[in-house]
Structure 1
Amino acid sequence: MTPAARLAASIDIIGSILERAAAADRVLADWQKHNRYAGSKDRRAIADQVYAVLRDQGMRRWRLEAAGAAVTPRLLVMADAATPLMEWQRLCDGGKYAPPVLDDAEAATLARLPSDEDAPLWARGNLPAAVLPLAEAAFGSDTDMELAALNGRAPLDLRVNLLKATREHLLEQLRGEEIAAAPTPFSPLGIRVPEKVRLEMNMLYRDGLIEPQDEAAQLAGLLVDARPGMTVVDLCAGAGGKTLLLAAAMRNQGELHAIDNDPRRLARLPVRLARAGVRNTTVHQADDLPRFLQEMEGRADRVLLDVPCTGSGTWRRNPEARWRYDPASLDEVLRRQAGLLDDGARLVKPGGVLVYATCSVLPVENGDQIDRFLGHHGEFTELPLSEVWGNTITVQRIQSGTRLSLTPYRHGTDGFFAVALRRAG
Structure 2
Amino acid sequence: MTPAARAQAAIEVLDRIGPEIAAEQALTNWARGARYAGSGDRAAVRDLVFDVLRRRRSAAVRGGGEGGRALLRGSLLLSGEDPDRLFTGERHAPAPLDERERAAGSDPGAEDLMDLPDWLCALFRESLGDAAADVAEALRHRAPVFLRVNTLRADIATAQAALNEDGIATRPHPLSAQALEVLENPRRINGSRAFRDGLVELQDAASQAVVDALPLRPGQRVLDYCAGGGGKALAMAARTRGQVMAHDSDPGRMRDLPARAARAGAEIVPLPNPTGQYDVVLCDVPCSGSGAWRRAPEGKWTLTPDRLDALRDVQAAILRRAQGYVAPGGVLAYATCSVLEPENMSQIRIFCADLPEWRCASDRQFLPADGGDGFFVACMTRLR
- The TM-score with structure 2 as length reference comes to 0.89
Task: Name the structure 2 match of 1:311.
Answer: 289
**Aligned counterparts of 1:81 and 1:154: Cα–Cα separation in 2:** 18
Query: Cα distance 1:174–1:216, how it changes in 2: closer, same or farther (>3 A)?
Result: same
Task: Name the structure 2 match of 1:224.
Answer: 214
Pairing 1:142–2:141 present: no
**Partner letter of residue 10 of structure 2?**
S
1:331 pairs with one of 301, 306, 309: 309
Query: Cα distance 1:273–1:17, how it changes in 2: closer, same or farther (>3 A)?
Result: farther
**Partner letter of residue 368 of structure 2?**
P
Task: Name the structure 2 match of 1:5.
Answer: 5
Deviations 1:11-40 (A, max 9, x none): 12223444555355x754664465342356
Query: Cα distance 1:225–1:33, how it changes in 2: closer, same or farther (>3 A)?
Result: farther
**Aligned counterparts of 1:318 and 1:127: Cα–Cα separation in 2:** 14
**Aligned counterparts of 1:54 and 1:416: Cα–Cα separation in 2:** 21
Deviates more, 1:77-86 or 1:340-349: 77-86
Task: Name the structure 2 match of 1:419.
Answer: 378
Task: Give the match's secondary structure for 2:352.
Answer: helix
**Partner letter of residue 235 of structure 1?**
Y
- The share of aligned pairs that are identical, in percent, is 37
Superposed displacement of residue 10, structure 1: 1.0
Deviations 1:94-132 (A, max 9, x none): x6x455788xxx863x2442431xx33332021111210
Pairing 1:360–2:320 present: no
Task: Name the structure 1 match of 2:104.
Answer: 113
**Is the 1:357–1:416 contact (alpha carbons within 8 Å) kept by the matching residues of 2?**
yes
* Pairing of 1:18-417 with structure 2 (within 5 A): 18=18, 21-24=21-24, 28=27, 31-32=30-31, 34-39=33-38, 42-43=41-42, 45-63=44-62, 71-80=66-75, 82=77, 87=84, 91-92=88-89, 97-98=92-93, 108=100, 110-116=101-107, 119-194=108-183, 196-197=185-186, 198-252=188-242, 255-279=243-267, 281-285=268-272, 288=273, 292=274, 295-296=275-276, 299-383=277-361, 402-409=362-369, 411-417=370-376
Question: How many residue pairs get matched?
Answer: 381
- Say which one has the larger Rg: 1
- The TM-score with structure 1 as length reference comes to 0.81
**Is the 1:232–1:300 contact (alpha carbons within 8 Å) kept by the matching residues of 2?**
yes
**Aligned counterparts of 2:49 and 2:29: Cα–Cα separation in 1:** 14
**Is the 1:149–1:408 contact (alpha carbons within 8 Å) kept by the matching residues of 2?**
yes
Superposed displacement of residue 275, structure 1: 1.4
Instruction: Please report the RMSD computed on the Cα atoms of aligned residues, expressed in angstroms.
Output: 2.8
Deviates more, 1:2-11 or 1:133-142: 2-11
**Is the 1:224–1:303 contact (alpha carbons within 8 Å) kept by the matching residues of 2?**
no
**Aligned counterparts of 1:90 and 1:28: Cα–Cα separation in 2:** 21
**Is the 2:87–2:94 contact (alpha carbons within 8 Å) kept by the matching residues of 1?**
no
**Partner letter of residue 414 of structure 1?**
D
**Is the 1:79–1:113 contact (alpha carbons within 8 Å) kept by the matching residues of 2?**
no
Superposed displacement of residue 358, structure 1: 0.3
**Aligned counterparts of 1:168 and 1:86: Cα–Cα separation in 2:** 44
**Partner letter of residue 150 of structure 2?**
N
Superposed displacement of residue 333, structure 1: 0.1
**Aligned counterparts of 1:228 and 1:84: Cα–Cα separation in 2:** 53
Query: Cα distance 1:23–1:90, how it changes in 2: closer, same or farther (>3 A)?
Result: closer
**Aligned counterparts of 2:248 and 2:23: Cα–Cα separation in 1:** 21
**Aligned counterparts of 1:86 and 1:317: Cα–Cα separation in 2:** 25
Query: Cα distance 1:213–1:326, how it changes in 2: closer, same or farther (>3 A)?
Result: same
Which sections of structure 2, spanning at least 5 residues, go unmatched?
none
Task: Give the match's secondary structure for 1:61.
Answer: helix
**Aligned counterparts of 2:368 and 2:72: Cα–Cα separation in 1:** 27
Deviates more, 1:119-128 or 1:319-328: 119-128
